[in-house]
Structure formats: C-alpha cells, structure tokens
A = this chain, B = another copy of it.
Amino acid sequence: MTTPTTHHSAVADTTPQELESTLAAAQAAAAPLAVSRPDQRAGWLRAVADALDGAADDLVPVAMEESGLPEPRLRGEVARSSGQLRMFADALAEGSLLEVVIDTADPQATPVPRPDLRRMLVPLGPVLVFAASNFPFAFSVCGGDTASALAAGCPVVVKAHPGHPRTSIRTADAMARALADAGAPDGALGLVLGFDTGVAALRDPRIRASGFTGSVPAGKALHEIAANRDEPIPFYGELGSLNPVFVLPAAARQRGPEIAQGYAGSFTLGVGQFCTKPGLLFLPAGHGLQDDLVAAASGVPTATMLNERIHAGYTGGVAELRKRAGLQEWVHGDESGSQASATLLRTTVPELLDDVDVVLEECFGPTSIVVEYADHDELLAAASAFGGNLTATVHAEEQDGEQVSSLLPLLQERAGRVVWNGWPTGVAVSWAMHHGGPFPATVGSIHTSVGVTAARRFQRPVCFQDTPARHLPQALHDTNTLGLSRRIDGTVTRDDVPTEGEHR
C-alpha cells in the first residue's frame, strides 16, 4: 500500500499532534458514553440525523464535486444515513440493542445454586472507522460503521477517505456540532486524514476496535496490524465481492430481455462502483440474448468515476480481462479521461474454471462477464468455484425448482445475502438486512455492517452477579423504568422482573 494521490489534494493530512489530541479526546469521551442511558444516546443519534438532513444542501454539492456522483444519488445517501441513525435510535429506545438478560437467583439449581445474574452489552471504547470512497455519505463519515459504533456507546474516530476530504470534514463538523448541542460528551466524534495517520491510529492502544470498507490487500494488511498488536483488537473489514447472478433455463426463456436490461442497469449503477455490483451473469448456452445484452450495456451513458486512483485501477483491471484468451468482448467500453462506459465480456464455464485467478477477481467499475453454462452440472461446478461474497442472485421460475434446490445450498455457503429474481445493488437498512459474507467479502463473516446487529461489533457483555440495584445500571433494575425489551429467566418481555413470590 502507498499513499493514494487524489485530484483534490488541497486538504492537509492530520499531524501527529492533531492525532494525539483527537485520540485523547476520544479516550476521555469513552467513560461518560459508557454510562449514558439508552434514551440519552438515542436522542444524540436523532440530533445527528436531523443535522445531516438539515445540512444536505451544503454537503451534497461538495460531494458532487469530489466524487463525480449525481445529486439524486447523493441526496439518497444522506437520507439513507439519517434514516439509519434513527433506526439505531429506535433500537436503543426499544432496548434490544443492549441485550439485557436477567436470570433471577435459583437456590435449587443443580449441580450448584445459581446467583442473581444480570447481563447487558456495554461499549468497547474508541472505534476507528476507515471510510470508503464509493459512498461519500452512506459508507463514509456518517455511514453504518459510525452510526452503529455511536449507538453502541463508543467514541468514533473516522479516518477520512482521500477521495472526498472536504465532504468528510463538513460532514464531521455538522455531526460534531449536533452531538455537542444535544449534550453528548466532547470527543464523541473525531476525524483524521492521511494514510499514515490511519495506520498510527490503528496501532494506538486507545483504539479498541476498527471498521473498514475497501480493497482486499488494504483490508488484509490492516487486519494483520490489528491482530498483531500487543493487545489485539477486532477488525471488521468489508473487502471484495463478485456477486454472481445465476439465471436458470426457464427464467432465461421467459424473461430474457428483462433480465438483460436489469443486469446492465445493475452492473453499471454508480459507474459499477458498488460493492454489490454483479460481476458475473450465468446464462444457459443458446440463450439467444446476446443482442439484448449488447444493446442494454451499450445504452448506458458514459460517466465519471470516483477518483483518479479508482479510474486507473479499473483501466488496468479491464485491460487485463480483455487480454484473456478465454474472454470475448461483446461491448468495448471507453476509459478515456476520468470517465468510463460499460464493457461487457463473455466466456464459458470451462474457460472460467481454467482461469479462476483472474476471472474470479473483483474488477471495480462498469464491467461484467456473461458466463455460458452447457448444463446444470457445469453451473454447479462454477458456483463451487467461488469464495465468499456479499451476495448471490438467482433468477428462476417454478419449472427451475429442481435446479434451484441443488444450487441454493452452494450459494448459502458462499454468500451473506441470497437475492431472488432481483438485483444485488441496493441494500435496505432494516432489522433483517445482512451485509457481510465469508472471506474475502469480509474479515469476520459472523458480523454485518448494515442493520441493527451491526452495533454488536462494538459491544461486549458485562454480567453483574448478586449486585444490589443501587449499584446497577438503570437498564438492569427490577422495575423496567426505561421500558426496554429484556430477556428475563429465558423469556423476552418488556415487563418488570417478577418478585420471588410471583415467580416460582
């Protein structure tokens, strides 16, 4: 890894002295955040959400200039980010985010009597968030990693992505002001810039966990730094994903042109710069859809990529693919200037299996590969060749049922989300969403970076044994004054703890 250059280099890196004061402030904020009540924290998150919505007119034009992304997309990202903060606020108020579990004393338990045990999740402490380039809001300063860490009660230090430094600074300013006005502890949110600064912060003992969205090599290198510290810390990295789409025969026959159109729209969305971009489309041989696919992909307008580094990486990657003997080029895109138009490639399963190291590597930008399979066995062989992915998509009709039954277990094993008759781009923010997957989709496949349980990455349990109410956090009192959802003696309820007389 080297320091990336950007075409917006007017913003200076954070100095070591500035980093020190940011880390010290985060450290100082950890204790007051840890003892804050869930309803207080919910209020702070709502204040930040309102501030983001209010600042959209100020933030979006800067992000447009820095990222080249269009206004509606960026406005959507701000709305998504504020909505996400409100979702975490709701989950705090409802209580599930704290996972309160109370087992009342059981003197009759065998082999030994059981004491009164009251457990809840508490924050890990300062979290370092490495922002992504491709979503200047939704996976950057105000994105899911920051929102979930703040919801958990952790101070957050964001390492800005060099692709949009001024957007990052303005976003952090708006958020920090809202936090201060709402009464959150000083130091709850900090921002640092610069590659070396990020690595120094990751090595600092005050940082207790880290979230990252970016490339496989950068993610692996940072993961090793985190794991090999004197005191290892959890590192949650979202790295690379191919997001294959498997079209089964009946679906190809019945909805071919519609599938071609949807596919071209999905793999070129945001100039192909989505972590959920479909990198491969499996079609039955003899599908007869070449003309539809070529027309759909050719019809997508040329657009500006996020920054020079990504454009250069894409240009190199797609050039490498064009050289492969096993790949035919159906649509030849143009990568001149800082822009790109769609490139569509075509191969067969045997050719793909012959060249997996190159063909099954993510190429970040508006290219995708149509892979033709001769029969179902070939399709299963291809599915088995994949490593971990964020998503896997199936297009099928009822007549494809038998083939689906043998394909789905392979996909479940390799992907975090299975999409049916749809497209993987677009990640709803909700309780049930999972955005994660086996390596290399993420380091840490047991976690999600989107959805309520994303906060768990930054929380650890603490159990109080036989501790009197006057020394317990309010969430653990017999009387459920905060109205939290809690598990009491094995059952989830929003009631008070039953007294001994009522209970047994």
Contact = CB atoms under 8 A, between A and B. Distances in A.
Interface of A: 31, 34-35, 76, 79-80, 83, 90, 94, 96, 101-103, 109-112, 114-115, 117-119, 122, 124-125, 220, 223-224, 227-228, 231-232, 234, 387, 401, 404-405, 408-409, 412-413, 415-422, 426, 428, 430-434, 436, 438-440, 443-446, 448, 453, 456-457, 459-468, 470-471, 485, 487, 489-490, 492
Given A31-B413, A103-B430, 14 more contacts: A79-B111, A90-B490, A118-B432, A224-B227, A404-B471, A415-B462, A416-B461, A416-B463, A418-B465, A419-B466, A432-B463, A434-B463, A445-B460, A446-B460
A117 B428 contact: yes
Contact of A31 (B80, B90, B409, B420): B409
Contacts of A421: 466
A381 B479 CA distance: 34
Contacts of A412: 34, 122, 462
Contact of A420 (B401, B434, B467, B485): B467
A467 B109 contact: no
Contacts of A446: 124, 234, 456-457, 459-461
Task: Report the copy number of this chain in the oligomer.
Answer: 2
A430 B468 CA distance: 20
Contact of A114 (B76, B124, B430): B430
A419 B465 contact: yes
A111 B75 CA distance: 9
Contacts of A468: 420
A439 B223 contact: no
Contacts of A432: 101-103, 117-119, 463, 487
A231 B216 CA distance: 11
Interface centre among A103, A118, A405, A489 (most CB of B within 10 A): A103
A76 B109 CA distance: 13
Given A76-B111, A124-B445, A408-B471, A433 B464 contact: no
A80 B34 CA distance: 34
Contact of A112 (B122, B426, B440, B443): B426
Given A35-B409, A420-B467, A227 B234 contact: no
Given A223-B232, A232-B439, A431 B111 contact: no
A29 to B, nearest CB: 14
A234 B119 CA distance: 24
Contacts of A35: 409
A472 B460 CA distance: 32
Chain B CB within 10 Å, residue with most, of A76, A433, A445, A461:
A461
Contacts of A443: 232
A384 to B, nearest CB: 12
A422 B115 contact: yes
Most chain B beta carbons < 10 A, residue from A112, A401, A457: A112
Contacts of A232: 220, 223, 227, 439, 443
Contacts of A223: 227, 232
Given A408-B471, A471-B408, A224 B228 contact: yes
A103 to B, nearest CB: 4
Given A103-B432, A431-B103, A433-B117, A460 B416 contact: yes
Contact of A227 (B118, B228, B401): B228
B231 A439 contact: yes
B471 A109 contact: no
B471 A422 contact: no
A416 to B, nearest CB: 6
Given A76-B111, A430-B117, A422 B227 contact: no
9 interchain residue pairs of minimum CB distance: A227-B227, A434-B463, A117-B432, A103-B432, A420-B467, A434-B461, A101-B432, A119-B432, A417-B463
Contacts of A401: 470-471
10 contacts: A34-B413, A103-B430, A117-B428, A117-B430, A117-B432, A223-B232, A231-B387, A231-B439, A234-B446, A422-B465
B416 A462 contact: yes
Contacts of A90: 490
Nearest to A87: B490
A445 B468 CA distance: 25
Q: Which of A119, A438, A443, A466 has most B Cβ within 10 Å? A: A119
B460 A436 contact: yes
Contacts of A465: 417-420, 422
